[in-house]
Amino acid sequence: MRERVALIGAGPSGMSLLRALALAEDAGAAVPEVVAFERQDDWGGQWNLDWRTGADRHGEPVHSAMYRDLWINGPKECMEYPDYPFDAHFGRAVSSYLPREAMRDYIVGRVAEVAGRIRPEIRFATAVRWVQPLEGGGFAVTSEDLVTREAVTERFDRVVVATGHFHTPHLPSWPGVETFPGQVQHAHDYRSPEPYTGRRVLVVGSSYSGQDLALQLHRAGAAHVTTAYRARPQDIAWPAGMDEAPEVQGFDGAEVTFADGSTAEYDAVLLCTGYRHHYPFLPRELALAGPNLLAPFGLWKGVVWHADPRVLYLGATQQLFTLTLLDAQAFFARDVLLGRVPVPDEEERRADMDAWFERMTRIDGPPAALAYQGAYIQDLSSHTDCPEVDVEAVARTFLEMRDARIEDVRTFRDRRHRSTVTGTLAAAHPVPWMDRPDDSLEEYLHRFPA
């Protein structure tokens, strides 16, 4: 009997898995029946922009953290699918940094060749409410159609969790924060900079996303922006009107105290403090928990749930290589489902997880982290026919971006990088990033004649 697989999530990870299965079927493989459940009204995951915050139009928690003026904060050359170059998609050379709509168009374009076959496998506006392991084998998956509000329970042999982990904010607390008179907002609910214009803003978190939002606020006319770091200074020469401070220690009304004893007053606080693994539809014994890591413990090869190998995860690891990492995981998951990659016994899985985890603990900076994840992608790909990524070239491009960011955080997006797939040098954007509008896809491509 043909196996049934429940795929939860149709963002980039889920789309990659559906495409990989379609390609295998084209090559003559017998593939399982896949039913994909997507809570949003369209595929694309985090790349879908929803003006709402809190609850979506169905009353469900808003999934996407996307905001209006987003431009990718790493070169597109670090995110390029080896079998689907940006040149081929857009029919021309474009800049190294894309606005959200153009990036989403690229991701969707990659599955266009099989879209007519895989979209019907997706139940949009449908939320998975519960996954129950069955004594006789398999899982009872209960889902709800968010339009009709009809619930149904079905049996599946395997479950693939591809919901990502950028939808449930990590919300730290500090002494006195409840006395702060201004707005405290997590980046997940940020949509545009205008509410911060003319205000003194504290951005808590120094990741690239935190730096990006700080720049967005500065560019839109915030009176002053401070970014608070937790571990070490960011080595960035901030422009006038921006600075950084060590870890937040507490609040006293509008006054914030930092780890070095300094204080400053602010009108608003924006939390760029990351996200939590959150899988409310899974029983505890199947749910990944803990911090966001390059090697989340409990996942063999970062994909197979060690405690129950019938459950697979996609996109649950910390991402440096992003799309190509997700694709490598999708191909690996596909071949586990097809029986091409045998899942070893518990002892061998444990030894492999221990080795990767121990190696992760020795990472001492960005070059080592990139090398680690590059080796991980190569390890996954060695078991499959996933398109090969030149991980060393991608890492070099990533580090070029890091150096350009340190040199001038305002202009690094004006740099041009070379494709590791085609060798094409990116086109120069005619407008400096600090002056760019939020280009629609049509307006953006108009700047780069074919």
Over residues 145-172, the pLDDT tens digits come to 999 999 999 999 999 999 998 889 999 9
| Amino acid 206: pLDDT | 84
Helix axes 346-361, 366-381, angle to 10 degrees: 160
**Best CA proximity match to 264, nearest among 222, 225, 215:** 225
| Amino acid 160: pLDDT | 99
At residue 280's C-alpha, the angle toward residues 279 and 286, to 5°, is 55
Confidence of residue 232 (pLDDT cuts 50, 70, 90): confident
- Cα–Cα distance, 224 to 233 (Å, whole number): 18
| Amino acid 436: pLDDT | 87
CATH class for the region spanning 177-271: alpha beta
The yes-or-no answer to whether 4-168+275-394 and 177-271 have a common fold is yes
Q: 337-356: per-residue pLDDT in tens?
A: 999 999 999 999 999 999 99
| Amino acid 234: pLDDT | 86
| Amino acid 184: pLDDT | 98
Checking if the pLDDT of 408 tops 90, the result is: yes
Alpha carbon distances (Å) from 291 to 32, 274, 280, 288? 33, 10, 17, 10
What residues have CB less than 8 Å from 32, skipping those under 6 apart?
2, 3, 4, 5, 21, 157, 158, 337, 338
Which residue in the block uniquely carries the two structure tokens 């009809």?
150
Checking if the pLDDT of 438 tops 90, the result is: no
204 forms beta bridges with 228, 271
- For the chain, the maximum distance between any two Cα atoms, rounded to a whole number of angstroms, is 67
Checking if the pLDDT of 238 tops 80, the result is: yes
The CATH number given to 4-168+275-394 is 3.50.50.60
Mean pLDDT score, 302-319: 98
- Cα–Cα distance, 204 to 202 (Å, whole number): 6
| Amino acid 207: pLDDT | 87
Tokens representing 174 are 């500090």
Checking if the pLDDT of 231 tops 90, the result is: no
Q: Look at 170-184, 209-223, 430-444 and tell me which has the smallest mean pLDDT.
A: 430-444
Tokens representing 20 are 């990989």
Mean pLDDT score, 67-77: 95
Spans of all domains in the chain: 4-168+275-394, 177-271
Confidence of residue 423 (pLDDT cuts 50, 70, 90): very high
Running DSSP on this structure, what letter comes out for residue 194?
G
Q: If you average pLDDT over every residue of the chain, what do you get?
A: 96
What percent of the chain clears pLDDT 70, i.e. is strictly above it?
100
